[in-house]
């Protein structure tokens, strides 16, 4: 008896509640007694019996119950109340089911047959005892007996099929079936024939109804027995469940089950049935199971509730003995297997917060003629099969926390389709499968095999591999792959090692991508495999596209193989296995160094021999990694890959082709593809720029457009400068570029195209250290004056047409005087008149060829006279050109054209510097006055010379007059002392010899390049005598090695075949001597006295 609660009387109620009295029992007793007496007197007593029992059910009253159940519903509190309630329910069960009286029902037909047969027996008794004249033989008595008996029997059967349990059970209606229709008709015919025979012999007409009605339902007997067995089983289930519920003190569910149906049992004691409930969720949870479980366990039973598909009004109860049956016996009985599977599903569902559903099991495999393997589906709230695989199958056997099937001796594996599972006992190898039946359940995308045994073996391997992956990914909180495509696995082998490639898929949940798995070092978790890496999987249907939910897992076979190369410099070969290994090594480097892994494509070997290796590897950066990031990480990437060379061919901001290996030879015959050799050389240059720091903030670097041989040993390289890279930065990186690229020499050329840079480069210094003058280059066909060799091996010439004047400067001992001698000698050989002046050193270098010169002035006043004469010559020639139609010197008729004139002024910079050391003379000392007078006179001459030179520089070009100015290394502002200095300087070409400061010695635009060229030359053997820079007017600078044309006697001998020149008379241009105190200077009537003495600021050019 369960716990009940007695109702307490209301003390305020003055009158007691009237006691409920039910008279159904006396009515039924009296009815039975009277009906027996009527039958004894030949009257239809059964009719009265039926009426009496119906009246008793109507008069029955429910007893007053003084107890309460857990939900505060009335409940018997004593055995007396329990008996009274039971009697009430039995009385109410009579004539309660109107379907029991349905004339179409087989049972009602049978009751009619029984009633008619009873009436027939009454008739035969009277006929046999010869009492046919009694009431027993009257038609109304027989008819009343037949009807009364039929009704009473139908009501009795209905009452027997009405449950007395608290949870209701229903008797399944028995209906006619088409499958038994022929048999029923046969029995009906037999009954009709038999009844006709009896009637003919005895005249007993009730047999005409009784026998057919009795015999016709006989074929339906098995249905009635099944319904009866089902009802009995339901009653047992309801009784069992009511008994446990009655003992629960504080139930988790809000109400009792309303009905129990569809009970199924097994020989080993498992039981499964449906319960009708208002809230299935309250029953299919762990709390309800835990409420009832202790009372079930006390009866050596266990229970669990699961959802019955999508049914919202029922739950499926599963009850089984605590003792687990043998797996063979378990799988041999469908109910046992389903109950145990449902209980396992509930257990694991409760452990991992999943609503359990009912099992659907389809046998597909057999062992010893008994079912041994099943396709398992769950009907109801479908669980996440990925969670089932990851949580329900962890390899645990720890009781309630163990894997699915661990408590019942079965194995379960999840199908890779994640729509169902496979349940089996024993070993898969010992099971014979119905492959045709199982075909629809094999996931073709996982494996196309038609052998179910092999398919399940692959799944077992799949689960084992997933366990390995699960352990490997625990620390990084990534889910294991959900699909391992074994059918698509490939094996790549060489003579010494092999690699296995297996495609895998990952879950769409969580937003994870294949690249998330590439940054993990899986080698320790994979048995310390030499190779265990994840590669991206390209999408073959879309160009330059990758799958985000699939990747390729590459593992060495066997796992540990020390013969497998692990650095790119050792991967020599062009087989598919070598290419795959190179891909793995590169991918691992990117994944380890960059903040996000890169997608590495299929590498291609560039070498056609095993002596060197260079792999061409397409790479796609991901996760916001920029070229700048890759540039910064280049040294570490190269080290990680084990490459001596790593070249980057950028296609766009995220795509690059990496050329990595141990060598990059320039000989095309060593390359698999000659055109790739040319591309690699360009990439070497690109890399040299990048290493020199010529990159933008976003990592873009200078790229090589072309690289081809030029003149001599030089090669011409054309580069594209990316937007955002300032020209100053490019210039500052040239030296670093040359050093990285292995060039000893480079020279920048002007480019007409914006964003483009042109350079001449050479691996060694292209200039010789010493060159003898080669006068054979003078042909007389042009006015060019050769004086040295340029970096491309061509002759350096001074062409007055594009560079009218020339400044030759240099450091001490650099050979600037020698180049002046060479140019003067070249001019003489071209028939140009040459005049030389050097007030500072006396023009001693030119003295051996004095007779070849039209003027040789070694004094300051002589220099002034020569420049004044040159200015007058310029004006004369300009006037001559004007008189002959204008133009320039070259347009004059040959008959009147004066010869070209070269004025060589050596140590020119000293002529521009004035003497400011005047001595104060407070005592009027005449010697001091004379000294100061001479200083003023000398400064005036210098001013005059500067004025003349500036005039010649700016105006003499069209008159056929050239200036060759020799000077020591100038300072930046030395030429600014000239009048009209800006214009004058722009008319000069420059030769600067030696390794000094180029400011003032070359034009300002070329200072940076000039300094770089000098530094470059100093780093590669220094600056031999005669080497320097040559800058034509308005052009860039070139490195030049000047000729050596001899000095002294050698110079005189070299020029001995040249005609002597007629000296010009400069006496009229000589400046007059200053008047000194106490000194009388004889008058020279032949010379014009020009006083240049001035103490005013008109001649001072300091400003």
Structure tokens at 1091: 């006083």
Farthest-apart Cα atoms in the chain, separation: 208
| Cβ neighbours, 10 Å, residue 631 | 22
| Cβ neighbours, 10 Å, residue 263 | 24
Give the dihedral of Cα atoms 630, 633, 634, 636; nearest 10 deg.
-150
**Contact call for residues 472 and 525 (beta carbons, < 8 A):** yes
Between CA 566 and CA 561 the distance in angstroms is 11
- Parallel, antiparallel, or unpaired for β 901-905 and 833-837? parallel
Secondary structure of 598-658 in HEC code, one letter for each residue = CEECCCEECECCCCCCEEEEEEECCCCCCHHHHHHCHHHHHHHHCCCEEEEEECCCCEEEE
810 assigned ligand-binding residue? yes
Cis peptide before 574 (omega within 30 of 0): no
788 assigned ligand-binding residue? no
813 assigned ligand-binding residue? yes
1060: which residues sit within 8 A by CB, 6+ positions away?
851, 852
Alpha helix (H) ranges present in 969-1081? 981-986, 1007-1019, 1048-1054
Residue holding tokens 């099991």?
Answer: 361
Residue holding tokens 């012999």?
Answer: 201
Q: What is the chain's length?
A: 1103
919 assigned ligand-binding residue? no
128: which residues sit within 8 A by CB, 6+ positions away?
none
Between CA 733 and CA 686 the distance in angstroms is 12
Between CA 195 and CA 192 the distance in angstroms is 5
**Contact call for residues 1032 and 803 (beta carbons, < 8 A):** yes
Sign of CA dihedral 477, 482, 488, 493: positive
Give per-residue burial for 416-451: e unless 16+ CB within 10 Å, then b. bebebbbbbbbebeebebebeebeebbbeebbebee
Q: Which one, of 272, 277, 239, 274, lies nearest residue 256 by Cα?
A: 277
- Could you give the C-alpha distances from 356 to 163, 388, 499, 539, in angstroms and in order? 30, 12, 43, 39
Between CA 469 and CA 482 the distance in angstroms is 10
510 assigned ligand-binding residue? no
Q: Supply φ then ψ for residue 1011, to 5 degrees.
A: -60, -40
Between CA 1071 and CA 1093 the distance in angstroms is 10
The 3-state DSSP class for residue 855 equals strand
817 assigned ligand-binding residue? yes
Between CA 638 and CA 590 the distance in angstroms is 10
Binding residue ranges for ATP: 810-817
Q: Which residues are part of a known binding site?
A: 810-817
């Amino acid at each position: 008896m369960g716990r009940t609660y007695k109702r307490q009387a209301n003390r305020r109620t003055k009158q007691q509640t009237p006691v409920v009295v039910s008279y159904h029992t006396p009515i039924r007793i009296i009815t039975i007694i009277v009906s027996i007496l009527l039958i004894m007197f030949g009257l239809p007593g059964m009719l009265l019996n039926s009426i009496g029992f119906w009246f008793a059910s109507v008069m029955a009253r429910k007893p007053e119950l003084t107890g309460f159940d857990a939900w505060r519903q009335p409940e018997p509190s004593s055995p007396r109340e329990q008996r009274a309630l039971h009697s009430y329910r039995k009385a109410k069960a009579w004539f309660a089911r109107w379907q029991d009286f349905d004339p179409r029902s087989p049972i009602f037909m049978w009751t009619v047959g029984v009633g008619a047969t009873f009436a027939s027996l009454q008739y035969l008794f009277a006929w046999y005892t010869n009492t046919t004249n009694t009431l027993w033989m009257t038609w109304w008595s027989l008819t009343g007996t037949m009807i009364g008996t039929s009704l009473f029997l139908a009501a009795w059967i209905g009452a027997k099929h009405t449950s007395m349990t608290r949870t209701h059970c229903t008797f399944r209606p028995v209906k006619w079936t088409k499958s038994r229709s022929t048999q029923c008709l046969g029995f009906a015919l037999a009954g009709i024939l038999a009844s006709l025979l009896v009637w003919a012999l005895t005249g007993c007409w009730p047999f005409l109804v009784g026998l057919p009605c009795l015999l016709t339902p006989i074929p339906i007997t098995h249905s009635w027995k099944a319904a009866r067995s089902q009802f009995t089983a339901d009653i047992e289930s309801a009784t069992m469940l009511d008994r446990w519920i009655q003992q629960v003190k504080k139930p988790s569910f809000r109400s009792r089950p309303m009905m129990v149906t569809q009970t199924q049992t097994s020989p080993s004691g498992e039981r499964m049935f449906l319960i009708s409930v208002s809230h299935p969720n309250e029953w299919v949870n762990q709390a309800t199971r835990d409420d009832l479980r202790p009372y079930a366990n006390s009866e050596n039973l266990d229970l669990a509730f699961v959802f019955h598909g999508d049914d919202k009004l029922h739950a499926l109860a599963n009850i089984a003995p605590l003792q687990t049956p043998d797996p063979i016996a378990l799988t041999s009985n469908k109910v046992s297997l389903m109950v145990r599977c449902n209980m396992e599903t509930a257990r694991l569902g409760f452990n991992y917060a999943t609503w359990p559903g009912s099992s659907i099991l389809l046998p597909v495999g057999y062992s010893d003629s008994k079912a041994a393997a099943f396709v398992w589906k769950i009907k109801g709230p479908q669980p996440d099969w990925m969670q089932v695989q990851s949580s329900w199958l962890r390899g645990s056997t720890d009781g309630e926390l163990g894997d699915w099937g661990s408590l019942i001796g079965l194995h379960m594996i999840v199908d890779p389709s994640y729509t169902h599972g496979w349940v089996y006992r024993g070993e898969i190898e010992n099971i014979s499968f119905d492959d045709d039946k199982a075909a629809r359940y094999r996931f073709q995308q996982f494996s196309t095999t038609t052998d179910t045994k092999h398919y399940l073996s692959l799944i077992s391997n799949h689960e084992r591999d997933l366990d390995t992956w699960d352990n490997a990914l625990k620390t990084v909180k990534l889910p294991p792959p959900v699909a391992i495509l074994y059918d698509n696995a490939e094996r790549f082998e060489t003579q010494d090692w092999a690699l296995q490639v297996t495609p895998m898929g990952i879950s769409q949940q969580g937003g994870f991508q294949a690249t998330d798995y590439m940054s993990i070092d899986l080698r320790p978790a994979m048995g310390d495999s030499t190779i265990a890496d994840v590669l991206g999987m390209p999408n073959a249907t879309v160009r330059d596209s990758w799958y985000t939910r699939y990747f390729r897992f590459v593992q060495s076979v066997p796992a540990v193989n020390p013969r497998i190369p692990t650095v790119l410099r050792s991967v020599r070969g062009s087989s598919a296995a070598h290419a795959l290994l190179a891909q793995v090594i590169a991918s691992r480097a990117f994944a380890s160094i960059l903040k996000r892994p890169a997608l590495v494509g299929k590498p291609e070997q560039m070498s056609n021999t095993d002596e060197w290796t260079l792999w061409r590897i397409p790479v796609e950066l991901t996760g916001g990694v920029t070229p700048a990031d890759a540039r910064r990480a280049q040294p570490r990437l190269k080290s990680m890959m084990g490459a001596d060379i790593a070249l980057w061919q950028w296609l766009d901001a995220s795509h690059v082709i990496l050329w990595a290996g141990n060598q990059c030879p320039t000989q095309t015959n060593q390359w698999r593809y000659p055109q790739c050799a040319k591309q690699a050389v360009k990439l070497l240059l690109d890399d040299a720029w990048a290493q020199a720091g010529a990159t933008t903030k976003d990592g873009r670097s200078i790229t090589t457009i072309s690289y081809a041989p030029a003149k001599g040993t030089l090669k011409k390289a054309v580069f594209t400068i990316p937007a955002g890279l300032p020209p100053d930065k490019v210039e500052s990186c040239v030296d670093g570029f040359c050093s990285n690229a292995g060039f000893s020499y480079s020279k920048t050329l002007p480019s007409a195209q914006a964003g483009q840079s042109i350079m001449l480069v050479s691996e060694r210094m292209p200039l010789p250290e010493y060159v003898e003058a080669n006068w054979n280059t003078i042909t007389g066909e042009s006015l060019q004056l050769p004086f040295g060799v340029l970096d491309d091996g061509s002759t350096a010439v001074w062409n007055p047409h594009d560079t009218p004047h020339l400044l030759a400067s240099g450091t001490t001992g650099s050979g600037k005087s020698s180049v002046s001698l060479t140019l003067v000698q070249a001019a003489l050989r071209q028939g140009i008149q040459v005049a030389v002046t050097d007030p500072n050193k006396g023009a001693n270098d030119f003295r051996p060829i004095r007779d070849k010169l039209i003027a040789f002035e070694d004094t300051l006043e002589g220099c002034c006279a020569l420049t004044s004469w040159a200015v007058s010559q310029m004006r004369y020639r300009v006037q001559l050109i004007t008189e002959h139609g204008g133009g320039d010197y070259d347009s004059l008729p040959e008959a009147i054209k004066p010869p070209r004139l070269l004025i060589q002024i050596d140590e020119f910079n000293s002529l521009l510097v004035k003497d400011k050391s005047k001595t104060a003379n407070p005592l009027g000392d005449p010697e001091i006055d004379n000294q100061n007078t001479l200083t003023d006179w000398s400064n005036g001459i210098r001013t005059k010379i500067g004025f003349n030179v500036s005039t010649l520089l700016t105006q003499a070009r069209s008159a056929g007059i050239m200036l060759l100015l020799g000077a020591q290394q100038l300072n930046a502002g030395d030429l600014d002392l000239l009048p009209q200095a800006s214009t004058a300087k722009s008319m000069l070409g420059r030769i600067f010899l030696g390794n000094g400061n180029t400011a003032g010695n070359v034009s300002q635009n070329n200072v940076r390049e000039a300094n770089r060229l000098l530094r470059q030359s100093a780093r590669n053997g220094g600056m031999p005598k005669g080497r320097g820079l040559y800058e034509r007017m308005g052009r860039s600078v070139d490195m030049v090695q000047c000729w050596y044309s001899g000095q002294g006697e050698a110079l005189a001998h070299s020029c001995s075949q040249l005609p002597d020149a007629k000296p010009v008379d400069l006496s009229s241009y000589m400046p007059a001597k200053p008047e000194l105190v106490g000194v009388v200077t004889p008058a020279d009537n032949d010379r014009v006295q020009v006083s240049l003495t001035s103490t005013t600021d008109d001649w001072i050019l300091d400003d």
